[in-house]
């Protein structure tokens, strides 16, 4: 028996086994913490992760929904259409209060709608 065979075996265990165990742990903790999955789905994902090894882990993380972005203000995540509606309402209110003339109102409205 060649001593190099034992070294190669240990390199394979360390090179493939340790990362696999670490990925398993991360994936299992993630599955357990998810609130959008029911128990049955969690069990199915845990089985796919365990029996699928690297392929199961990759499939789980690819199919997993992205977590919400933390630290962003609400306005930054507001869709453009919602912001446009808010701007138009503010402009209308300014016009109704007399702060904006009719000509300015129409010009600003065209600008907001991209009609200029």
Note the pLDDT tens digit of each residue in 19-56.
888 999 999 999 999 988 899 999 999 999 989 888 99
Q: Is the pTM of this model over 0.85?
A: no
Handedness of CA 62, 67, 68, 72 (dihedral sign): negative
What gap in Å lies between CA 12 and CA 110, rounded to an integer? 67
Asked if residue 31 lies in contact with residue 60, where contact means CB atoms within 8 angstroms, the answer is yes
Exposed e or buried b per residue across 74-106, where buried means at least 16 C-beta atoms within 10 angstroms of its C-beta = eeeeeeeeeeeeeeeeebeeebeeeebeeeebe
How far out from the chain centre does Cα 43 lie? 23
Residue 16, CA distances (Å) to 4, 5, 7 in order: 18, 16, 14
What gap in Å lies between CA 36 and CA 40, rounded to an integer? 12
What gap in Å lies between CA 105 and CA 89, rounded to an integer? 11
Note the pLDDT tens digit of each residue in 57-111.
999 989 988 776 655 555 555 556 788 888 889 989 999 999 989 999 999 988 8
Q: Specify the pLDDT at position 22.
A: 92
What residue ranges do the domains of the chain occupy? 3-63, 74-113
């Amino acid at each position: 028996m060649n001593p190099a065979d034992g070294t190669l075996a240990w390199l394979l265990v360390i090179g493939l086994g340790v990362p696999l165990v670490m990925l398993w742990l991360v994936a299992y903790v993630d599955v357990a913490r998810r609130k959008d999955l029911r128990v049955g789905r969690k069990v199915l994902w845990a089985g796919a992760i365990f029996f699928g090894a690297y392929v199961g882990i990759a499939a789980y993380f690819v199919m997993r929904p992205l977590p919400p972005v933390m630290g962003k203000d609400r306005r930054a995540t507001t869709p453009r259409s919602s912001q446009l509606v808010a701007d138009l309402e503010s402009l209308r209110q300014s016009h109704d209060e007399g702060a904006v003339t009719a000509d300015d109102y129409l010009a600003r409205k065209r600008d907001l709608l991209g009609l200029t």
